[in-house]
Amino acid sequence: MIRISPKGDILIDTGWSEAVRSDPETAIGPYAYRICHPLLPPGQSIREQLEAKNKPVHQLRYVLISHMDVDHISGIHHLEGAQSFIVSELEWNGAKGHQRARCQGITIHPFPLKPIPFGPLKLGKDLYGDGSIYLILTPGHTDGLISVLVRVQDGWVLLASDAAYSRISWSEMILPGYTSDDEMAFQTLQWICEFSQREDCIAVIANHDPLVKEASF
């Protein structure tokens, strides 16, 4: 979660639904279940984490869906009441029926991609129009995958979503386990690697990196 006052908090992705604890195959679907068996420890669902932080769902200004993979949207109904759910038009338009079905009952606001100063294709969205947060198209793992670039006091923090799985991904140019486009995935990793070497890059954080801890910048 990105906490920016007074503009409001932004949550990136939703994690697993609590339903995976009791019936994971039904919760994520038989195809996904053949690929992965989700584990959701007590206290780790997005609902439980927000409650532990005394953060009411309705105070979330945006819930950004970085991409439509099940591990990123499964818990979306735990966030009903958030002010706005957003995803790139490119990702939404390319989503499969079962992916959209997980969002049934939730109003999704797809956003168009426009020229921005950052990213492998320099396309995305200046979220507030003031250069404080950029939603950056970082394709390859999926076509419409969005990473988030946040301006902090001393520079930038890049939240790379699944464009990379850990620091070793961009240091050794290891592609994600699944890609929709290997060439674009490689181009995205090259950009992340180059950005990580900037003097004003405070951190690059990948969603699935087990070494990542909660931090303030």
Domains in the chain (CATH in brackets) are 1-112 (3.60.15.10), 113-210+213-217 (3.60.15.10)
Is the Cβ–Cβ distance between 76 and 68 less than 8 Å?
A: no
pLDDT score recorded for residue 22: 94
Residue 108 is encoded by which pair of tokens? 């999704």
Residue type for position 34: R
pLDDT in tens, 88-147: 999 999 999 999 999 999 999 999 999 999 999 999 999 999 999 999 999 999 999 999
Residue 169 is encoded by which pair of tokens? 């991904």
Residue range 12-30: mean pLDDT, rounded:
93
What are the Cα distances from residue 172, in Å, to 57, 150, 169, 204?
Answer: 39, 24, 6, 15
Model confidence band, residue 5 (pLDDT cutoffs 50, 70, 90): low
97 Cβ contact partners less than 8 Å away, ≥ 6 residues apart: none
Task: Give the Cβ contact number of residue 34 at 10 Å.
Answer: 9
pLDDT in tens, 145-201: 999 999 999 999 999 999 999 999 999 999 998 999 999 999 999 999 999 999 999
pLDDT score recorded for residue 133: 95
pLDDT score recorded for residue 1: 67
Residue range 23-45: mean pLDDT, rounded:
90
pLDDT in tens, 38-77: 999 999 999 999 999 999 999 999 999 999 999 999 999 9
User: What is the C-alpha separation between 148 and 64, in angstroms, rounded?
Assistant: 9
| Residue corresponding to tokens 């906490």 | 3
Assign residue 128 a region: left if phi > 0, alpha if psi is -120 to 50, beta otherwise?
alpha
pLDDT score recorded for residue 217: 77
**Residue 159, beta-bridge partner list:** 148, 205
Helix (H) or strand (E) holding 125: strand 123-126
User: What is the C-alpha separation between 155 and 202, in angstroms, rounded?
Assistant: 6
Give the global pTM.
0.94
Phi, psi at residue 100, to the nearest 5°? Answer: -65, -35
